[in-house]
Amino acid sequence: MKKFLLISLLAIATITCKKKDVVPDPTDNSLPAYTATNLAYGNDSLQKLDVYLPAGRNLQESKVIILIHGGGWSQGDKADLRLYVDTLKRRLPDYAIFNINYRLATGATNLFPTQENDVKAAIEFIHSKRAEFYLTDKYVLLGASAGAHLALLHAYKNIIPVRIKAVVDFYGPTELVSLYNDPLNPLIPLLLTQVTGGSPSTHAFMYQQSSPVNFVNNQTPPTMILQGGLDILVSPSQAVLLKNTLDANAVFNQYVYYPSEGHVWIGPNLTDSFNKIAAFLSATVN
């Protein structure tokens, strides 16, 4: 009996020591860089994300930036933003980068707010891994087109599991009723009908809940808006409306307008965009 008790106590002590060994040291900055692809944050095959953790990260300094791809909520893939990953690594070497997929609206499946819910689920997953990944609670969202809409929507509507510190909007829709009623492209109302299940008159609550401008207040995180003047999908008026709403609520923001660019751009203006993003985040996330 005594021998059994001794063995049991030793086993408990060993387990306890092992648990203590995995408690992260918040000041440890000796960790190597780490990359993983297609980590699951849900059960669907599209609920996956890629992880790019910087070398030397620690619990006191390492910030997070989460990328959200576009594609009209019904197409696209995180692979579309791999170029963004590389350029962000160079400009923001102390940031952990997460590039996420989400379920796409197809036919009568995965209509709004599926995509909004997936962004929240991905952020909850990342936050649950913060000790394992050695990350702070300083989160930035960056989206393009429909992904920018989702980034704005999450940043403006949620403070759990973490309050977003800043959001970067590349030509994202900001108010869906006007996007439907005054489209630059006749296919936009059809797309919105397909992803919401109806029109603003039949699905008024869904359009209201899915429009980021409706959730701006004086606690809204700093926002950077990048917009092309020749965009034939998302009118520059969407960006101006967001900027005016942010200004009216005294929210720090920066509006970058490229008069000769359309919906998506490359080359020198994209380089300029990321230089401005790096400066914006340096000023707002600390």
Spell out the domain ranges in the chain: 30-284
In the predicted structure, residue 110 carries a pLDDT above the cut 50 = yes
- Residues in contact with 5: Cβ distance below 8 Å, sequence separation at least 6, in sequence order: none
The residues with which 34 forms a beta bridge, in sequence order, are 53
Give the DSSP H/E element, type plus range, for residue 256: strand 253-258
In the predicted structure, residue 106 carries a pLDDT above the cut 50 = yes
In the predicted structure, residue 142 carries a pLDDT above the cut 80 = yes
Q: How confident is the model over 184-211, as a mean pLDDT? A: 98
Angle at which helices 146-157 and 114-128 cross, to 10°? 60
Q: How confident is the model over 52-65, as a mean pLDDT? A: 97
Assess if CATH 3.40.1390.30 describes domain 30-284.
Answer: no
In the predicted structure, residue 6 carries a pLDDT above the cut 90 = no
The residues with which 256 forms a beta bridge, in sequence order, are 226
Residue 38, burial from CB neighbour count under 10 angstroms (0-12, 13-18, 19+): exposed
Q: How confident is the model over 153-176, as a mean pLDDT? A: 98
Query: pLDDT band at residue 284, thresholds of 50, 70 and 90?
Result: very high
Task: State the pLDDT at residue 26.
Answer: 60
Residue 252, token pair as written in the block: 């720090």
Query: pLDDT band at residue 260, thresholds of 50, 70 and 90?
Result: very high
- Residues in contact with 39: Cβ distance below 8 Å, sequence separation at least 6, in sequence order: 48, 49, 50, 51, 125
- The C-alpha atoms of residue 97 and residue 140 are separated, in whole angstroms, by 10
